[in-house]
């Protein structure tokens, strides 16, 4: 009897104790330990932007933890460390990262960002881009956007703005009105004007065009040195575009902080690399663009490219599938490029991953992954190749809080399946991307390319010559060139006359047929597969350009006009028939007056 009472009292006491056990304090200033262990009673609602990726392999920009957790709150990393020792706060949504690797959002240290490039980059895990030349038209908005920690689907952009080049030099051929520094005495005011526009550093072009088979005016040593000093006087970096050893030596002697390309006319010698390492010079080798310029296999050489390629936007496809003229002639130099990377790395020269997208053969985002993989292929340890896209650029460029996954860093995250530290191609297996702690949609908004939807035939065959109003004269004067053209319908077809003059990088003049009711209107023309073309001309070559998908740059195919030709549209990668705009037939060489008659032009 007595025992039973004792039992009941013990039970009552035990339950009573539960009622007096401490509850969490409501104060938001609870100590870190309390935040760790106290589970809030009403934590049903997950605070927006608070999540933890658990059980994941973590590369935090510098080192690797095998079983780690990263906690994100309000767009920032608030904790990162081993599973057992890293608290997961109340109400954090948990994402299981088993079998996956989490990296800082990557940094592409050499791009030219136009249009939706920042979106394309972010969808591929590149959350920061260092632009090496673009007009400063939107810098105010760009600076405001990157200062915020708000959900966005765009990579943060930092930029050199206008580049410093000689009158008519490299950089002036794109139809952008680049301000030209007028002699060393003008250097400081030129630099100050750039900084006033919002440039984050100064880029100087030292490019004689020799290795690319041309001759372009370039800045001399005194001018380069004056620009470097002017930049340093304002505490900003001065970086140089170079292509040859002599140009690199000129730039380095002038005191630049870094080279934004590796020179390619010969391999880097160890003594030069040692000298650079001593000076603290950094190099952005831009292997993806160099690979394309030397006719090397592109990103499609990698396992995992197939699945990823479906996420390419039409602009990414276009740039990836275009090619440098004459690349094959230069392929013999490629082994020297790869050996230079190893030499520089052994000497301790910091290497930064950069793609130079959207140059031919590259694509925003994708090519930065390629840049990391190419650094690995050229002999960098994998972790160093990853650092080249994370904490190395973050330590050299003024881009605080990026390229790292430590408390306080921006929650720019790239989650991939597998282990890129063992197999860098795992970088292509993108599972998720977060920018400022908010997930980025991996799919592109653009409709998939026509070849993936063979059943969606919507367009009938059309005889282009039956619609004379659809044609218009078109020439490079539109792009800043000096060529001109005129068209005139006649019995045989459409007569095109004009004059081709130097001025634009790739002079062209001819006639263009618009698929929509207005020039360059995009219309769905899926179902077309072939362009039949018969042109009567004395010219040895005509260039057929296809405009689609809103891309400013066309896809082109050179034809010999002697015979009727059929162009298989499905083989022309980069032509987006779901958003077809126009096709043009142009004279492209030689300079001088020309004349041709389009006798037959049919889409089928």
Given the DSSP bridges, would you call strands 493-500 and 484-490 parallel, antiparallel or unpaired?
antiparallel
SS3 of 308, please?
helix
Binding residues for another protein restricted to 103-132, rule: CB under 8 A: none
The binder of another protein chosen from 38, 179, 439, 550 (CB under 8 A): 38
Asked if 98 interacts with another protein (CB under 8 A), we say yes
Asked if 24 interacts with another protein (CB under 8 A), we say yes
Asked if 176 interacts with another protein (CB under 8 A), we say no
Cβ-contact 189, 182 below 8 angstroms? no
Asked if 144 interacts with another protein (CB under 8 A), we say no
Rounded Cα distance between 218 and 234, Å, is: 24
Asked if 19 interacts with another protein (CB under 8 A), we say yes
Rounded Cα distance between 309 and 302, Å, is: 11
Rounded Cα distance between 120 and 313, Å, is: 7
Asked if 407 interacts with another protein (CB under 8 A), we say no
Asked if 9 interacts with another protein (CB under 8 A), we say no
Look up tokens 């004792």; give the residue: 6
Q: Min. distance of Cβ 235 from another protein in angstroms? A: 42
Q: Min. distance of Cβ 419 from another protein in angstroms? A: 14
Q: Which of 13/593 has CB closer to another protein?
A: 13
SS3 of 431, please?
strand
Q: Which of 95/250 has CB closer to another protein?
A: 95
Instruction: Extract the tokens encoding 508.
Output: 């062209």
Helices 221-233 and 245-254 cross at an angle (nearest 10°) of 40
The binder of another protein chosen from 10, 141, 303, 562 (CB under 8 A): 10
Asked if 90 interacts with another protein (CB under 8 A), we say yes
SS3 of 543, please?
strand
- Provide DSSP, 118-181: HHHHHHTTEEEEEESS---TTHHHHHHHHH-----SS-EEEE--SPB--TT-TTSTTS------
Asked if 441 interacts with another protein (CB under 8 A), we say no
Element at 336 (helix H, strand E) = helix 334-347
Cβ-contact 100, 415 below 8 angstroms? yes
The binder of another protein chosen from 47, 74, 87, 530 (CB under 8 A): 87
Asked if 21 interacts with another protein (CB under 8 A), we say yes
Q: Min. distance of Cβ 305 from another protein in angstroms? A: 28
Asked if 28 interacts with another protein (CB under 8 A), we say no
Asked if 45 interacts with another protein (CB under 8 A), we say no
- Provide DSSP, 36-82: HHPPPTTTTSPPTT-EEEEEEEEE-SS-EEEEEEEEEETTEEEEEEE
- Residue whose C-alpha is closest to residue 525's, from 444, 592, 455, 460: 460
- 480 vs 315, 474, 477, 484, 508, CA distance in Å? 22, 12, 5, 11, 11
Q: Which of 39/593 has CB closer to another protein?
A: 39
Q: Min. distance of Cβ 49 from another protein in angstroms? A: 19
Q: Min. distance of Cβ 14 from another protein in angstroms? A: 4
Asked if 39 interacts with another protein (CB under 8 A), we say yes
Asked if 84 interacts with another protein (CB under 8 A), we say yes
Asked if 55 interacts with another protein (CB under 8 A), we say yes
Asked if 41 interacts with another protein (CB under 8 A), we say yes
The binder of another protein chosen from 9, 37, 266, 307 (CB under 8 A): 37
Q: Which of 3/517 has CB closer to another protein?
A: 3
The binder of another protein chosen from 25, 137, 300, 502 (CB under 8 A): 25
**Which residues of this protein are in contact with another protein, per CB under 8 A?**
1, 3-4, 6-7, 10-11, 14-15, 17-19, 21-25, 31, 33-34, 36-41, 43, 54-55, 67, 83-87, 90, 94, 98
């Amino acid at each position: 009897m007595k025992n039973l009472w004792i039992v009941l009292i013990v039970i009552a006491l035990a339950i009573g104790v539960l009622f007096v056990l401490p509850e969490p304090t409501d104060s938001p200033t609870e100590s870190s330990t309390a935040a760790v262990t106290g589970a809030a009673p009403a934590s049903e609602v997950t605070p927006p932007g608070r999540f933890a990726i658990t059980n994941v392999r973590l590369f935090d920009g510098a080192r690797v933890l095998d079983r780690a957790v990263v906690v994100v709150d309000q767009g920032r990393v608030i904790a990162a460390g081993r599973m057992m020792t890293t608290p997961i706060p109340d109400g954090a949504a948990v994402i299981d990262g088993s079998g996956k690797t989490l990296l800082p959002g990557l940094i592409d240290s050499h791009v030219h960002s136009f249009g939706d490039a920042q979106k394309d980059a972010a969808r591929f895990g590149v959350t920061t881009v260092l632009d090496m030349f673009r007009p400063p038209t939107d810098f105010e908005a760009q600076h405001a956007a990157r200062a915020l920690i708000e959900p966005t689907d765009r990579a943060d952009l930092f930029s050199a703005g206008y580049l410093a080049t000689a009158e008519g030099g490299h950089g002036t051929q794109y139809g952008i009105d680049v301000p030209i520094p007028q002699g060393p005495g003008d250097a400081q005011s030129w630099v100050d004007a750039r900084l006033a526009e919002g440039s984050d550093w100064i880029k100087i072009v030292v490019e004689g065009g020799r290795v690319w088979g041309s001759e372009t005016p370039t800045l001399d040593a005194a001018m380069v040195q004056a620009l470097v000093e002017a930049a340093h006087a304002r505490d900003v970096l001065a970086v140089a575009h170079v292509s040859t050893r002599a140009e690199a030596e000129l730039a380095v002697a002038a005191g630049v902080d870094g080279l934004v390309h590796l020179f390619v006319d010969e391999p880097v010698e160890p003594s030069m690399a040692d000298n650079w390492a001593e000076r603290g010079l950094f190099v952005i080798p831009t292997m993806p663009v160099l690979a394309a310029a030397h006719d090397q296999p592109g990103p499609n050489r990698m396992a995992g490219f197939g699945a990823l390629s479906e996420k390419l936007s039409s602009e990414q496809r276009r740039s990836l599938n275009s090619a440098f003229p004459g690349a094959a002639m230069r392929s013999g130099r490629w082994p020297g490029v790869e050996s230079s990377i190893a030499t520089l790395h052994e000497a301790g020269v910091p290497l930064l991953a950069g793609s130079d997208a959207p140059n031919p053969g590259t694509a925003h985002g994708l090519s930065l992954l390629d840049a990391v993989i190419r650094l690995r292929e050229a002999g960098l340890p994998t972790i160093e190749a990853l650092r080249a896209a994370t904490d190395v650029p973050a330590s050299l460029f003024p881009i605080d809080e990026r390229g790292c996954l430590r408390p306080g860093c921006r929650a720019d995250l790239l989650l991939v399946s597998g282990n890129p530290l063992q197999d860098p191609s795992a970088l292509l297996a993108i599972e998720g991307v977060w920018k400022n702690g908010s997930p980025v949609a991996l799919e592109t908004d653009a409709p998939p390319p026509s070849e993936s939807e063979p059943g969606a035939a919507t367009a009938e065959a059309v005889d282009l010559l039956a619609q004379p109003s659809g044609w218009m004269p078109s020439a490079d004067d539109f792009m800043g060139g000096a060529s001109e053209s005129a068209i005139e319908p006649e019995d045989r077809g459409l007569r095109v006359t004009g004059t081709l003059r130097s001025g634009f990088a790739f002079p062209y003049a001819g006639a263009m047929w618009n698929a929509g009711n207005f020039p360059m209107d995009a219309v769905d023309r899926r179902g077309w597969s072939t362009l039949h073309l018969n042109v009567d001309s004395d010219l040895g070559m005509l260039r057929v350009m296809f405009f689609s998908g809103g891309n400013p740059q066309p896809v082109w195919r050179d034809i010999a006009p002697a015979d009727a030709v059929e162009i298989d549209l499905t083989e022309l990668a980069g032509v987006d028939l779901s958003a077809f705009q126009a096709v043009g037939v142009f004279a492209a060489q030689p300079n001088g007056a020309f004349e041709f008659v389009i006798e037959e032009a049919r889409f089928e």
